[in-house]
Amino acid sequence: MATQYSHSTAPGRYDMQRDKLAAYFDGTARKAWIDLTSDAKVSGIRATVRAGREEMRATLLDWLPADLRRQRLLDAGCGTGALSMDAACRGAEITAIDVAGGLVDIARKRSDGFHGHGRIDWRVGDMLDPALGTFDHIVAMDSLIHYTPADMVEAVAGLAANCRSSLLFTFAPYTPLLGAMHRVGKLFPRSDRSPAIVPVSEADLRQMLASLSDWRIGRSHRVSSGFYTSQALELVRR
């Protein structure tokens, strides 16, 4: 898609939600997220989330080329950096960015002494910043699931504008259970819950993505592990 990302169709909504996510992951959730992405002992519920995220990360890495030497990769919403470090082992030149500076700090520390063939540039900021440049591949694992479907697709379009080959991202697939949890979650005070995950049906999402005329939808894979349900979708440039 040749059109550059713009906030014009949804003024301020993406920015507001991005800032809420940064505050949440740098504040309330920081310790829990550090534990979840390490080998620290966690509750049974969080163990299912950890296992699900590990399966999803393995899926996305499997969809990338085995040899990433001389290729640029954007890890859009890198969190504590596990996917970036795995991809760097394949020789990629990676820009790893997240709005949560605290999580990026953890990623930097965990990558100290890393001896992969690639290189990782850790950054704090907006994954849609056009100043990041263009990439051969972009991965956005669980970094768009808190946005409305319309805002998520607009963000995907913004990422696609700066991508030459493949764009991999995840979404929360609509199921009756997830729909019910989403509705009930809104009943609790904001201080007692994390930012809402917004479910979307795959059929609706595919229809919305049809506007990206330079791209075709490739593979799709759902991961369900206890309290973790997420679906990966591959976009391939035509």
Look at residue 32 and tell me whether its pLDDT is greater than 60. Answer: yes
- Decide: residue 141, CB within 10 A, 0-12 exposed, 13-18 middle, 19+ buried: buried
Please state the separation of Cα 31 from the chain's center in Å.
19
- To which H or E segment does residue 18 belong? helix 13-26
Residue ranges of domains in the chain, CATH in brackets? 28-237 (3.40.50.150)
Phi/psi zone of residue 70: left (φ > 0), alpha (ψ -120 to 50 degrees), beta? left
Contacts with 126 (C-beta within 8 Å, 6 or more apart), sequence order:
18, 97, 99
- CA 38 from chain centre, in angstroms, equals 18
Q: How does pLDDT run across 127-155, given as a tens digit for each residue?
A: 999 999 999 999 999 999 999 999 999 99
Q: In what order do the strands lie in the sheet with 119-124?
A: 119-124, 93-98, 72-76, 135-140, 163-171, 228-237, 215-225
Per-residue pLDDT tens digits for 64-93:
999 999 999 999 999 999 999 999 999 999
Q: Is the pTM of this model over 0.85?
A: yes
First-last CA distance in the chain: 10
pLDDT of residue 197: 85
How far apart CA 93 and CA 117 sit, in angstroms, is 9
